[in-house]
Each structure stands twice: as C-alpha cells, then as structure tokens.
Structure 1
Amino acid sequence: MTKIAIIGNGLSGRLAALYLDKHLPGAELTMIDPDVPNKPIVGESTIEMTSQFFLSLGLGTYLEENQRHKYGLTYYFPRPAMDGDMEAPGAAGAMAEKGAMAETEAAAEASPVAGAGGGPDYILHEAPGVIRLPAYNLNRFTFDDELARRVAPLVRKVTGKVTEVEISDEPGGQQTIHVMDKAGETSTVTADHVIDCSGRARLLAKQMGLEQDPPFQRSSYWFRLAGFDRSILNGLNVDKPRHHCYDSYSVTHHFYGKGYWIWIIPMQGEDGEDLASVGVTYRPEILGEKAMNQDKMLDLLSRDHPRVRALIETGRKVDEARYYNYMYEARQYYDTRGRWFLLGDSGFTFDPAGSLGIAYLGHQIPQITSMILKAGQGMLTPAYVEAMEGHVQAELYKQDQLSQRYPVMDDPIKLSWTLVFNYMAYFHLFLPDYMTGAFLNGGVAKRTMKLLMRKPAEMIPVAYAFPQIMDKLSERAKEKGNGAEIIATAAHFHKAVPFNFYRGDNLKRGRVAAAYLYKRGLLRAKALRLLHWWREPSLWPMVAGQYLRTGGEWLLALLLVLRPRIYERPASKDPAMMSAFDPQYSFLFPEEAASRGRPGMGRPDGGTADRKPARAKDEAGQMPAGVTATTGNA
C-alpha cells in the first residue's frame, strides 16, 4: 500500500486529498496540520480549467447550488480624450459614428453617482456570450468548509506542527515526518511520498534551502465587502458590446492604473446575500506606495476610479488581509525520485491576475499523481520529473510577463490589446493542453518549457502585444484623439474565444493552434490598419516586416489545418515519458473513459495488469450505477 503524507490542511492539501483518493484508492493518506485558525484566504475567482478540475472531484452540484457563476473577465478601460474633446463626454455616440461597438448603459441614470462629475467613462471589454465550460466566483469560506467536510473521512488526521522531514536515500525507503502537538508531545509519521502543502510556511523549501527570490515583487491588499449598492457597478457609464446573455454584474471586474490593478469579485454570502471581494495588487516601486490599507486604496480610487470608491463607501468591510512583497519561488519543486513535492504556495506564489493560482493546482496535483503512479510501477525517471518541473518553470514565465505589464497598466491602448491576445492564447493553446491531458506528457511539457523559456530579470522587456505597433498607436492616440476607437477595435472576445469548445477527449489541438495563429495575424493586421500607414512612408519598413510575420503565421496555420498531427509530434511515445493516465484525458474523468471501454488510468504503456478498481463516486459518495474505473497498482 502506498503511503502519502500531506503537510497542510489548506486549499491545496484538501484538493490533493480528494484527487488522490479518487485516482489512488488503495493509498493511505495522512494529513498533518497544526489547525491554526484565521489564516488569510485568497483565490476566489475561477477559470474554466479550475472548474473542470472541481467537476472531476464531484463538486459540480455543490458549485451550481451554492456558488455563483462567473461569466468571464471584464476589463474597464478609461476612455481616452477624443479629438477636440479633452473631457471625453459623449463617448458612446462618437464611437458609434466610427463604426465601433457602441452602447451606453441606460442603467447609468439609475445610479446615484453614475455620470457624476470627475469620473471617467469606460470602454468595456467583456465576453459577448456564454461559453460551454462554466466558471464560478467562490465564497472561499463556505467552499473551503465544504472541502474539509468531504476530506475528513478520506484521511488519517494528525494534529501538530511538522518540525522536520527526514528524506531517505535508500532505494524504496520511506520518509519520516516529525510532528509536535500543542502539548509539546512528539510523534512520527512515515510515508513513501511527502506532499508539502504548508503554504507560505514553506516547510520543505526552507528545510532544504530551496528558497529563491523572484525577478519582480508584488504587494496586495484586499477585503470582503457586504451591504453595498451593486447598482453603482451596473450603472457605470460604459461603451460595451450589445448582448443579452447574462447579467454583467456576474463577472470578475478589473480596473487599472499606473503600477496597479483593482479587482471586484461578486460572490454569495453565507445566507445568500451579496458579498464581494475587493482588492488591489501593485508593484510598490512603480505605484510609489509601500504598505496599502483601505484609506490609501480609497485615495487611489478617488484619483483614478471615483465611482469604484463610491461603491465601496456604500458597504461595510467584513474582513481584510494584506501581503507586502509576497512573491517567492524555489529552486526545485519535484524530487527526481518522487520522494517529495512542493505544491501550490509551498513552492511559489502567483499574481492574482487571470485567476491562475487555483487553476495551476489543477495542473500540479495531476502531475504529482502521475509521478506517484509511475513510482509505484517502477517507471518514474528523472527525465519525466524534470519535464514536469519544466512545465512549472513555464508557468513562472507567465508570472514574469505579468510582472512587466504593470508599467503600462495606465495605457489603455497597450493593455486592451494585450489582454485580448492573452485571452486568445489561453483558449487556443493552454486550455486544450489541459483538457486533453497533453500537459502530462513529458514531450509536450518540454515543448511548453522551450516556448516559454524564462530569462533573467534584466532581460525581460515590458510585456505587451505587438510592441512596435502599440507604441505607435499609443503615441498617435495622444496626437489625434482616436484612442477610444483603438481600444474598441481590440474588443475581439467574440473571435478570441472558441465558444463551441467544451470537451477535450476528441480535440484536435493542431487545428485549435491553427486558429490561434490565424487570429493572431488578424489582430496584427487590424492594428496596422489603425495606423493609416499608407499615408506615412516612414512607417512602411516596419509595416512590411509586420505583414511578413502575419503571412508566416497564416501559412503555418494553413499547414496545421491540413496536417494537424504536426502539432502532436513533440508528444513522447516513450512509456517512461508518457502520462500515467491512459487515455490522457482520464486524469479528469476516468469514469467516462471506462464507460467507453478505455482503461481510465494506470500503466503508461496502456497495460491493465495489476490494476485495482477505482472508487468512482457521485456527489453523495456512492458508486454510480454501471460505472467502472481502473487504476494502476500503487
């Protein structure tokens, strides 16, 4: 029997326990935690990856009945002054004449502060429809309580503080965890594998000297707000695409300024009332502010987003938390022999932009499970572990890019185009890799690492899409006053998001990647047209180079449409480098794979020897009728 010790009882530890119980039903799970109350909770907004991971754990009915749907990420860009109009009134009508998206919210008149003097009008980027993959805004207090209730019968609980972890160098040796309880009594726990979920305590990283500084720092301050007037948010004077698909309140709201961004996450309170998480993340050296609190945040909002301040002042603060210079990393996250793993915040921290933190737990936990499965079968190799480690480094590359977006967060032109570009990459490249389980293949993980190769801090440029073009567009907007038109043109969510994508088992990733390349070229071409380059010969050399890039991307897109298997070539066929789940997508839903006559998970070579039935459970913890699943003998 495989013995697994989980150090920590927070979100990452509970999710890991649920997942391991499902995919390693014969394993003995021990959870060690000192039960310290009132820990800061962060991470309330989910994305499609996160929700699929939650659904695979049997949380679907709970989420539908107890948490609120999230219909994408919505971005508010202060409308730049138009030509001859320094105060920028009448944005909707002016933009309609230019053929851009134009709808001024009639609800603005219903708000006591909408249209008040001094506040900017906004150009709104939001999803113009509902995609088939759901997402949710979580009340983390009720959600975490539900996870704790579900995990309790699955694990052996040891209450106490871990003082040391002894890692065995013997082949097949067990690790020894030393624990001290509140009375000072000591005990030990032995395990084949140790998963550090200690969060910011960073138990193993500190013990083994793996701590590492990140290239850039961030700080954050947030609080939960109750009793507020949501009509202020719905009544902002905005230009937005016309749709009747959902209430625009039910999204994650983003507001920006130099060196910072603000989030508002609507959620459901314990008694069903409106609740919201409101926070700011910033780079202190750019914002010029070190330690943030509510008063300082309100001063910031008075300057840049006064109506958001008005919204906050109608409510009451329930609780608050803050982190100063909270970013950190580690030199290693996974042991090459599978003895220990750093999961979530025990290894590195995320910028909350893009709601990627919990989403990457949905990557790391299957990665760790795949490595444990391989170790149990005697097939875990350093090469496979290093490939999974490389995937973590690729994720940190994204964090580096986010860090270098802060210098241009007050430039709505550069930021609006960059966010649409990132949305497109997520839906066409990263989400398909996740849904199909391809990220668990060592060859695919290595390609991801090569494409997203990290650089030293001094070599990381300020990160925004099409820099040569955006620099010119931003400069011209100040001269010609057409910034609103440029931002509106970037609202390509209807083309950036594949609304028909909902299942990964039969997805041809090559063709989805081809769509990404085509749309990337299309966005570049649209941006170039906004320059009116044909009127200025000085721009022709730059434009020629940009159109050559577009042509190259479209040719590659055509090749991938005709030969989508080319995109799959990096996927390793070596059993030692393949996912431990067979078929790959069964890392999420092994029951579905089993119902189609596929094994579900187990030996990387697809064999079925030495497998034990998996415990496929429904929401009530019962085996669904007619469902069978299998797993590797660990």
Structure 2
Amino acid sequence: MDSPQARTVDIAILGGGLAGNLLARQLRRSLPGLSLALFERSRETSFKVGESTVEIASNYLIRRLGLSTYLYENQLPKNGLRFFFDTPEKNAAMVDMSEIGSRHLPVFPSFQIDRARIEADLMRMNLADGADIRTGARVHDLKLHEPEGPPESRNASGMHEFTVTEGDTSYPVRARWVVDASGRASAIARQKQLRVPADHPIAAVWGRFTGHVDMDDAGTPEWRARVHNTARVLSTNHFCYPGYWIWFIPLGRGVMSVGWVGEHKIFNDAMRKPEGFLEFLKTHRAPWDLLKDRAELIDVLAYKQLAYGTKQFFSGQDRWFLTGEAAAFTDPFYSPGSDFIALYNDFITDLITRDHAGETRAQIADRSATYDEFMQFRYQATLLLYRDLYPVLGSFELLKLKWDFDIACYYNLWAAPYWHDQHLDLRQLKSDLRRKDFVLQGLENFSRLFQKLEAGFREKGLWHRANLGRFACALEGVHFANELLAPRPRKQVMRTSETIFNATRARALDLLADLGEAPSSSERTLPLYEFLLPSPLA
C-alpha cells in the first residue's frame, strides 16, 4: 500500500470484520465506479463467534456475493442445527440422549465458517478488486454531515469527516457515505446515543479447542445409522439444559469452537478464565467426552450481556448506516447474526445505489425509513423467539414443539421472501409492515403458551421425561419446502401460517392434557386471526 495521506472517498466502511468486508465486496460488485475505503483497527483478523450461518445468510453469500466456490473449497458445509438433551444429573452419554437433527445435508445450503480465515480472505479479495483496505487504522473524531441535525453537529463540507491514525501518522478522510461496521464499539451508535438495552439477560463464554474427539467416530454403529451415517459433526450441535446450552461448531483444520450461552443467574465470572470454563464443561458428561483431557483449549472469550437493540439502523438521506454488531444483536441460539448482516448490507447497498443514481432526498428518506422499520420489526420478532424461553431448552418435548414452530415460521415468513428479493420491494415491505403488530402479537401468544407449558412441566417434574432414547428429524415440520422455490401469493403464506399455528397449538393442548390442564377452548382448529389477537391460545 502507498503511504497514508489526506483523501476523499465515495464510501468509507469503519471496521473490517465479517459485516464490513462482506459489504465492501457487495458494493464493489454493485457499484464498481465508486471509490471505497475500509478501515480496520487491528492488523490481523482474530477468532470471533458467529461461525454458524443459516439459510438467508448462505443465500446472500452464494447468490449476492458469488462465494459458493470459495465456501466449499475453504470453509465447511453445515449439516443444519442439532440438539441433544440430558438428565438432571448431566450424566447421559451422547448416544443415549434424545436428539433433534437431520439425516442428510439440508436442501438449502449453509456453512460453518472460520471467522478469522474468511475475514482475511475477504480482505484480500476486496483489495484485489480495487478497495482501499487499511489495517492498523484507528478511526476517531468522526463528524457526520446531517443537514437537519443540531447546528453543533453539522458538517459544512457536505461530507462526513473523520481522522485515521496509522502508527505515528494521522490523516483526514472525507466520505460521501459512511458505514459503521466496527462491532459493539460502534462509533456512530455512541455518538448518536442509539444503543438500546434488551430485556433478555444472557451471557456467553466460548473458546477454541484442538485435539477434540470426532463426534462421528465416537458413537456406536447403531447410533450413527440413526442419522443414515450423515456427519453430525458438521452440524451446529447444541447440548441443551434448563436455562442454557453448550455449542460445538467445527471450524475446519482440526479446530472446534465450543461455547456456553445462558441466563445471567447461571453465569459466573470464573467461567471467563480457561480453568473456570474447563471446570464447568467437565460437569457435563457428553460435552466433556468430546474433549476429555487430550483436547487443548487455545483461548477463551466472554460477553457478560449479549443482546441489545438500536434506535435507528440507517439514515439513507444523511448517508450513514450501521451494519453487523454495530447495529444490534439478539441471541445466537438459531444463528441469526449473519442473516441480519445480509439484510443490513442489502438495504445499505440499495440505498447507496439509488442515491448515486439520483433519486431525490425525499425518496431516499422514505425508503430508508421503511427499511429501518422493517429491521426493527425483524429484531423484535427474533427476540421473541428467545426472551423468557431459556428454561424451555432443557426438555426434548418442549424444545421439539418450539423448534418445529420456529423453523417453519422462519422458512415461511422470513427466508422465502429473502430468497426472492421481496425485502427490496418497497410496496411489498410496506404491506408487510402494516401487519407487523399482528405478527408480533401472534409470536407473543406462542411465547406465552411455551412458557405456560414449561411452568407446568417444571412443577410436575416432567422436564426430563423424554430426554433419553428419542430421535426427531429436524425439518419434518417444514412440509411446504418445495413451495418456496418460487414467490408465493400472500394468501398462500397466510394459509401456511394458519397450518403451522394450528399444528403447534394442537400438540401443545396434548401436552397440557398430560399436565391435567383442560384448555379454555376445546376447538382443535382456529382461523388465523384468532392467533393474532391478544388472547391466550390455551
């Protein structure tokens, strides 16, 4: 690279992690005539969580960014999400645990990614594609140009301005568009006081291991045959307990990511240190059987609080944007982080493209506000999958019910529209947003139903009654998968939602009957609108 000097660029990306590098690639592919500079504080990429992708993110990586060959050659294909369940004493062998998982690689691809490796590779790709990549570059003294902001915050130049320090050298940068991809530090979120606490108190601890046991070589032939000898190790494996879960995610090249996520009341500071993390894992037979004393712990990291929101994601008319963890975060249980990156980056690229093409400030403002409202909706809907529901994780029966509901809704309401770019259709998006309160109410109703079941199971000591010896195919509830290959009319989406809701409620009523509770309504099938009203489902 040439020596640093004062510069003006069209697009500045602050942060060179996954979100920033993916956006840089997307913008270079979409707008090759615009200059782009990416500024990353670290000189080397590092181990981070967020290794597991799901179907929206994988579609984005393959279709939008053209990374299919790279992913299959340099990362690992993922065999879906997989869940194991234990005894109250946490002493079950893995082969005896009840299991939810796939019997073959899913039809819709996803990947396990080594974050440090993919970020380094993306930097090289972006540099080769004409992006100005600056590592060891600290961004500070950011001044946003906001024509309608308070006088003290306005930048008279019409450009965003900031200073970059590389070693002993500092230089000013001016940019027409600025994207904050700097992670939880988020310069723009701090400056504009955007960060919003989330009512979802969970913590996380994670590390990387080498020398671990091969899960697919550890069980009996009968246990391996139960999933048609598919590769369980390629799944995002969840060992589930009341209030927390332990993940095993393969990163390739002999490295396994192992982490714990759970409620604050279970977390303790000793787990932040290697010896404390290892001692905790040792109290769980099945996870520890995959590590034993031969596995070597490379590093340990932790977050005391994972979830948070933001007051605003984008200001297209003022030409600033947040992406990745600079914006918001919900929960890693279903691996939604990279899905959110796909949505952020699509919206940002679309807004910059339209702005560059000459759309009016009013048009950009309207579209930006709609995209922002959709991301707030998406954030709230995702948080409802987890908030107050961590106790459900410890029961095979309860999580199977919740999983079938969640995965079917994911494909029906979120994944399929993304695959057909309906999220970029302003008319479609505004129509969806007019119904958002009903969707959120429906999800809230099911959350309360799952909480009611969990309370009954806990009271009657039934949490663990089906946690051994059972197997359920993970996608058996997605009976409509073939319908998702083409855009569907709204009526079809609504009919599918009604089917999903009724199937879940019917099974929940059976479980309530096991608890000796008679539902307030004996109707086994309800019209869709009944699920979307603020009333109990049982």
Where on the TM-score scale, by shorter chain, does this alignment land: which range?
A: 0.7 to 0.9
Q: Which residue of structure 1 aligns with residue 475 of structure 2? A: 493
Q: Select 1:69's aligned residue among 53, 72, 77.
A: 77
* Structure 1, 495-504 or 362-371: larger mean CA deviation: 495-504
Bigger mean CA deviation after superposition, 15-24 or 445-454:
445-454
Aligned to 1:55: 62
Looking at structure 1, the residues matched to 211 and 472 of structure 2 have their Cα atoms a distance apart, in angstroms, of: 35
Q: Report how far residue 55 of structure 1 moved.
A: 0.8
Is 1:446–2:427 an aligned residue pair?
Answer: no
1:257 aligns with 2:241: yes
- Give the drift of 1:344: 1.0
Q: Give the direction of change, closer, same or farther, for the CA distance of 1:237–1:256 in structure 2 (3 Å limit).
A: farther
Cα distance in structure 2, aligned partners of 1:278 and 1:439: 34
Which residue pairs with 1:590 in the alignment? Answer: none
Structure 2 residue 119 is matched with structure 1 residue 144:
yes
Q: TM-score normalised to the size of structure 1?
A: 0.71
Paired residues of 1:261 and 1:281 also in contact (CA < 8 A): yes
Q: 1:523 aligns with which of 484, 498, 504?
A: 504
**CA drift at 1:434:** 1.0
Q: Which has the larger radius of gyration?
A: 1
**1:317 counterpart = 2:306:** no
Query: Is contact 2:238–2:248 with CA below 8 Å preserved after alignment?
Result: yes
| SS of 2:233 mapped into structure 1 | coil
Q: Verify the 8 A CA contact 2:95 2:220 in the aligned structure 1.
A: no
Residues 112-136 of structure 1: CA distance to partner in whole angstroms, max 9, x if unpaired? x985xxx893110012444321111
User: How far apart in 2 are the matches of 1:343 and 1:46?
Assistant: 16
Contact 1:407 1:462 in 2 (8 A): no
Q: How many residues align?
A: 505
Q: Following the alignment from structure 1 to structure 2, what is the Cα–Cα distance between the partners of residues 247 and 183? A: 47
| 2:404–2:477 Cα contact (<8 Å) kept | no
Instruction: State, as a whole percentage, how many aligned pairs show the same letter.
Output: 24
Q: Can you list the C-alpha shifts for 1:269-308, whole angstroms capped at 9, x where unaligned?
A: 1xxxx321101112222x15245234333443444x3121
- Alpha-carbon distance change, 532 to 21 in structure 1, aligned in 2, over 3 angstroms: same
Deviations 1:552-603 (A, max 9, x none): 14999xxxxxxxxxxxxxxxxxxxxxxxxxxxxxxxxxxxxxxxxxxxxxxx
Name the TM-score, length of structure 2 as normaliser.
0.82
State the distance in 1 between where 2:320 and 2:405 align.
37
Equivalence for 2:522: 544
Instruction: Letter of the 1:4 partner, please give it.
Output: I
Indicate the residue corresponding to 1:384 in structure 2.
Answer: 367
User: Which amino acid in structure 2 is aligned with residue 157 of structure 1?
Assistant: I
Name the CA distance, whole Å, in 1 between partners of 2:317 and 2:220.
55
Q: Please, which runs of 5 or more residues in structure 1 have no aligned partner?
A: 81-86, 89-112, 557-634
Code of the aligned partner of 1:69: P
1:397-408 paired onto structure 2 within 5 Å: 397=380, 398-408=382-392
Runs of at least 5 residues in structure 2 that lack an aligned partner in the other structure = 1-7, 149-155, 532-538
Q: Where do 1:370-519 residues align within 5 Å?
A: 370-376=350-356, 377-379=358-360, 380-397=363-380, 398-440=382-424, 441=426, 442-444=429-431, 446-447=433-434, 449-451=436-438, 453=440, 463=447, 466-468=450-452, 471-472=455-456, 478=462, 483=466, 493-496=475-478, 498-500=480-482, 503-504=485-486, 506-508=487-489, 510-519=491-500
Pair 1:16-2:23 in alignment: yes
RMSD: 3.7
Deviation at 1:236, TM superposition (A): 7.8
In 1, Cα distance between equivalents of 2:87 and 2:125? 47
Q: Does 1:267 align with 2:274?
A: no
CA distance in 2, matches of 1:261, 1:235: 21
5 Å matches for 1:191-230?
A: 191-230=175-214
Give the letter aligned to residue 78 of structure 1. D
> Quick one: which of 132, 135, 145 aligns to 2:107?
132
Cα offset for 1:406? 2.0
Would the aligned equivalents of 2:45 and 2:116 in 1 still touch at CA under 8 Å? no
User: Aligned partner of 1:389: which letter?
Assistant: D
Match of 2:339 in 1: 359
The DSSP-based 3-state class of the residue aligned with 1:312 is: coil
Residues 332, 389 of structure 1: 8 Å contact kept: yes
Query: Aligned in 2, Cα 1:424/1:474: closer, same or farther, shift over 3 Å?
Result: farther
- Match runs of 1:617-628 below 5 Å: none
Shift of 1:433: 1.7
Contact kept? 2:19, 2:341, Cα under 8 Å:
yes
Check the 8 A contact 1:223/1:277 in 2, yes or no: yes
Question: How far is 1:396 from its partner?
Answer: 2.4
Change (3 A) 1:51 1:245: farther
What is the deviation of 1:231?
Answer: 4.3
**SS across alignment from 1:544:** coil
Cα offset, 1:543, TM superposition: 4.5
Rate the CA distance shift 1:279–1:350 in 2: closer, same or farther, 3 A.
same
CA distance in 1, matches of 2:92, 2:85: 16
2:308 aligned partner, one-letter code: Y
Q: 1:394·1:449 contact (CA, 8 Å) conserved in 2?
A: yes
